[in-house]
């Protein structure tokens, strides 16, 4: 085939979060004639920024404006509300594109593997964070917040986010983008004490110092170290990272202060070298049984528990290449099969590629690396035939799948912000595909 009649490259990206948008940006720059189709399972784009970043971290969410700028590109075609593996199969994507990039993140919470995890009021971070951020998969969670004590398992930033939102003043939450139904649940809180359980030593904390200070600087919160009397003096100098060192310095100074038990503050207890043995209760959670590395065991009474111990990928039907941790085997973004060989035309970026690590900006370098690997492979991939670049929209319409493009999202985005402004908050999120469809119809969208 002559170059003059060779079709333009068609690339499908599965997942419209940070990794998806940054990968698309890199491809649009590197391959001037390519068409990129960006598929998203949820009704709205932006992935982790919309559904993972804490509602009281609005500055971090401003990066969504960069993604919307990328989506304006004439050769980028956004399709939200499309579940790849269900609405469209992987084989159908292969037949209509020269390459596929999986950027669908790691949206499933990992379990602890202990008794009682299925009890009511025991949640994974994926479901609890998804709930207070208004993700359609989790809006029906309905946790009972009218409990006295909570347990959060984990010593990373997600655990700190959960802990902070459990104790933060309601007036602060009311001006965030927590959707109103979830905000009303927070209004019912009776929590007086939170126990943050870390399986590692104090020096092995994964918190960033910035996140830690956001918790300890809350005026209604007091930090306690129940094990402080057991700490050896050398422990305060055993930090695995600069952030952990700064946190240890703060804790060392703070734990020497007199504790005023009558000041009415909410208590956050930091526990180290402990692991949950079981979540205990009859019809609902009553306590968490804990074992320390020294062999001691004790129980913490609580009415709600959130386990923040990691995430795994939601596997897409027809995709091989997942490792035991639920992420993709790859070489610089090229997906590898069980035998270690390249899976032709299949690439990966973001959390599905490297696990739940880094900050939002980390996905840019990650996406650009994958794009470079894809571009190098593109001449060989172009040897196969493909359908027209606009064929996806026609296929979805033929199946009655109501996907949204970027113009639709701009209308929905403006509507959410207007609804939020009326409530004194950044936005009021639409919580389902049906709500989004109804809203677009009311706005007169074609």
The candidate with the shortest Cα–Cα distance to 52, out of 410, 363, 333, 438, is 363
Is residue 19 annotated as involved in ligand binding? yes
Would you give the distance in Å from CA 86 to the centre of its chain? 22
**Per-residue pLDDT at 22:** 97
Is residue 40 annotated as involved in ligand binding? yes
Which of residues 297 and 393 earns the better pLDDT score? 297
Strands (E), 174-312: 193-197, 221-224, 266-271, 274-281, 285-292, 297-301, 304-307, 311-312
- Cα–Cα distance, 383 to 9 (Å, whole number): 10
Task: Kindly give, in sequence order, each residue whose CB lies less than 8 Å from that of residue 91, ignoring residues fewer than 6 positions away.
Answer: 318
pLDDT digits (tens, 9 = 90+) for 174-186: 999 999 999 999 9
- Cα–Cα distance, 226 to 127 (Å, whole number): 29
User: By CB neighbour count within 10 A (0-12 exposed, 13-18 middle, 19+ buried), where does 46 fall?
Assistant: buried
**Per-residue pLDDT at 2:** 45
The candidate with the shortest Cα–Cα distance to 8, out of 30, 32, 26, is 32
Is residue 290 annotated as involved in ligand binding? no
Is residue 48 annotated as involved in ligand binding? yes
Residue 291, beta-bridge partner list: 275, 297
> According to DSSP H, which parts of 284-426 are helical?
351-354, 362-381, 391-398, 406-422
pLDDT at 31 over 50: yes
pLDDT digits (tens, 9 = 90+) for 77-98: 999 999 999 999 998 998 899 9
The candidate with the shortest Cα–Cα distance to 185, out of 121, 107, 269, 280, is 121
User: By CB neighbour count within 10 A (0-12 exposed, 13-18 middle, 19+ buried), where does 38 fall?
Assistant: buried
Is residue 351 annotated as involved in ligand binding? yes
Is residue 250 annotated as involved in ligand binding? no
Is residue 84 annotated as involved in ligand binding? yes
What is the token pair recorded at 211? 């996140």
pLDDT digits (tens, 9 = 90+) for 202-244: 888 888 999 999 999 999 999 999 998 888 888 888 888 999 9
The mean pLDDT value for 30-52 works out to 95
Domains of the chain: 8-107+313-403 (3.40.50.720), 108-311 (3.50.50.60)
Residue 328, beta-bridge partner list: 322
In Å, what is the CA distance from 78 to each residue of 15, 40, 65, 274, 293? 10, 8, 15, 46, 50
Which of residues 233 and 157 earns the better pLDDT score? 157
pLDDT at 11 over 60: yes
pLDDT at 417 over 70: yes
**Per-residue pLDDT at 1:** 41
C-alpha angle 92-94-95 in degrees, rounded to nearest 5 = 65
Is residue 360 annotated as involved in ligand binding? yes
User: Percent of the chain beyond pLDDT 90?
Assistant: 71
**Per-residue pLDDT at 355:** 84
What is the token pair recorded at 433? 């595909």
The mean pLDDT value for 28-33 works out to 94
pLDDT at 389 over 80: no
Number of C-beta neighbours around residue 3 at 10 A = 6
CB 14 within 8 A of CB 101: yes
**Per-residue pLDDT at 236:** 84
pLDDT at 38 over 80: yes
In Å, what is the CA distance from 304 to each residue of 47, 160, 343? 27, 16, 44
Is residue 377 annotated as involved in ligand binding? no
User: Percent of the chain beyond pLDDT 70?
Assistant: 94
């Amino acid at each position: 085939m002559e170059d003059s009649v060779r079709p333009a490259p068609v690339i499908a990206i599965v997942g419209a979060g940070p990794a998806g948008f940054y990968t698309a940006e890199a491809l649009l720059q590197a391959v001037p004639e390519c068409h990129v189709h960006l598929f998203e399972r949820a009704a709205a784009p932006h992935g982790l920024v919309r559904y993972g970043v804490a509602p009281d971290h609005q500055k971090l969410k401003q990066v969504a404006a960069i993604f919307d700028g990328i989506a304006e590109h004439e050769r980028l075609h956004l399709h939200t509300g499309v579940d790849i593996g269900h609405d469209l199969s992987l084989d159908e994507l292969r037949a209509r594109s020269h390459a596929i990039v999986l950027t669908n993140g790691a949206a499933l919470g990992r379990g602890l593997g202990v008794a009682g995890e299925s009890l009511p009021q025991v949640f994974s971070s994926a479901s609890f964070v998804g709930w207070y951020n208004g993700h359609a998969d989790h809006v029906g969670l309905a946790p009972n917040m009218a409990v006295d004590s909570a347990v959060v398992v984990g010593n990373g930033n997600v655990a700190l986010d959960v802990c902070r939102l459990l104790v933060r003043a309601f007036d602060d939450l009311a001006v965030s983008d927590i959707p109103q139904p979830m905000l009303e649940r927070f209004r019912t809180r009776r929590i007086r004490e939170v126990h943050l359980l870390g399986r590692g030593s104090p020096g092995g904390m994964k918190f960033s110092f910035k996140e830690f200070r956001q918790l300890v600087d809350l005026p209604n919160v007091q930090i306690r170290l129940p094990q402080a009397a057991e700490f050896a003096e050398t422990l305060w100098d055993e930090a695995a990272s600069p952030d952990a060192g700064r946190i240890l310095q703060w804790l060392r100074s703070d734990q020497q202060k007199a504790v005023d038990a009558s000041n009415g503050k909410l208590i956050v207890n930091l526990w180290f070298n402990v692991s949950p043995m079981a979540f205990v209760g009859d019809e609902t959670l009553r306590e968490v049984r804990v074992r320390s590395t020294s062999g001691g065991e004790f129980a913490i009474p609580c009415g709600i528990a959130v386990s923040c111990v990691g995430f795994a990928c939601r596997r897409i039907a027809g995709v091989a290449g997942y490792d035991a941790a639920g992420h993709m085997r790859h070489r610089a973004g090229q997906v590898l099969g069980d035998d270690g060989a390249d899976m032709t035309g299949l690439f990966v970026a973001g959390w599905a590629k490297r696990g739940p690590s880094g900050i939002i900006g980390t996905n840019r370098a990650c996406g650009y690396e994958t794009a470079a690997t894809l571009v190098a492979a593109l001449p060989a991939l172009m040897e196969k035939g493909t359908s027209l670049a606009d064929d996806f929209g026609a296929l979805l319409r033929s199946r009655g799948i109501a996907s949204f493009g970027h113009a639709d999202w701009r209308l929905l985005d403006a509507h959410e912000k207007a609804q939020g402004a009326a409530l004194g908050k950044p936005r009021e999120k639409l919580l389902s595909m049906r709500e989004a469809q109804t809203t677009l119809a009311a706005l007169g969208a074609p």
